[in-house]
Chains A and B, each alone.
Chain A
């Protein structure tokens, strides 16, 4: 009904955090030497992966909801919002399916970040061995 809204909300939050982190990293970059950059993926880039997955998924699910007539281009935009019984059902779906969707995407992203951190560790070890 509107499960994609949970992912879209998380995507909005992640976008704001990512922009803030990117700004901070750019400030620090000026004073840092280049050696550390070679073995570490910036946090802003990792957040960008999550952002893209959440926005991309929410966008394609929005298309699906339009297809099924659950989202309409006129107020209140969600067909379920015009009837109180349907609204309750919609909120229940958002709290279960919607939250589970956002949680799974975040969990997969955390797994990806964990794998990348292993690569970073290996790269650091090999660069320190060379030195």
Chain B
């Protein structure tokens, strides 16, 4: 479930990035790389788990599924916070600087 949430997030971010490319003012590419990297890593994790559990891998208990969904959504929230911090620090549009140094 975590892998699924991560892949959906990666696809969504890539579509948003593609829509605005080659401009990347909001640095959506950071989210794309982050989610694709994590998705690939969780894919490997899933393959190893499948090799160990076999078909049972696709029949998780409802409680496990819910916990994994909760984890997946938390991962997305964490990634969004990381992205926001990078965006504010790098401030590609100069908005933060303009807001801080604006004269009354």
Q: Does A pair with B? A: yes
Determine the chain B residues whose CB is within 8 A of the CB of A7 once the complex forms: 37, 41
- Indicate if the CB atoms of A64 and B40 lie closer than 8 Å: no
A3 to B74, Cβ gap below 8 A? no
In the complex, what distance in Å separates the CA atom of A64 from the CA atom of B74?
Answer: 9
Q: Are B41 and A57 in contact (CB under 8 A)?
A: yes
The verdict on A60 contacting chain B, using a C-beta distance below 8 Å, is: yes
Answer whether residue A47 sits at the interface, using C-beta atoms and an 8 A cutoff: no
Q: Which of A55, A64, A105 contacts B71 (CB 8 A)?
A: A64
B71 touches A96 (CB 8 A): no
Write out the residue numbers on chain A whose beta carbons fall within 8 Å of the beta carbon of B78: 60, 63
Which residues of chain B have C-beta atoms less than 8 A from A60's C-beta? 6, 34-35, 37-38, 41, 75, 78-79
Contacts of B79 in A (CB 8 A): 56, 60
Q: Which of B37, B71, B75 contacts A53 (CB 8 A)?
A: B37
B44 within 8 A of A: yes
| A93 to chain B: closest residue by CB | B48
Chain A count of residues within 8 A CB distance of the other chain: 24
Residue of B nearest to A68 (CB): B71
Known contacts A60-B6, A63-B75, A97-B48; is A104 also within 8 Å of B37 by CB? no
Nearest to B79 among chain A residues (CB) is A60
Q: Helix, strand, loop or mixed for chain B's interface?
A: helix
Is A59's CB under 8 angstroms from B34's CB? yes
Note all chain B residues with C-beta closer than 8 A to A67. Answer: 71, 74
Contacts of A96 in B (CB 8 A): 48
Closest to B71 in A: A67
Complex alpha-carbon distance, A59 and B47, angstroms: 20
Q: Is A78 an interface residue (CB 8 A)?
A: no
- Mind listing 7 A-B residue pairs with CB under 8 Å? A4-B41, A49-B33, A53-B33, A56-B33, A61-B41, A101-B41, A105-B41
User: What residues of chain B have their CB less than 8 Å away from a CB belonging to chain A?
Assistant: 2, 6, 29-30, 33-45, 47-48, 71, 74-75, 78-79, 82
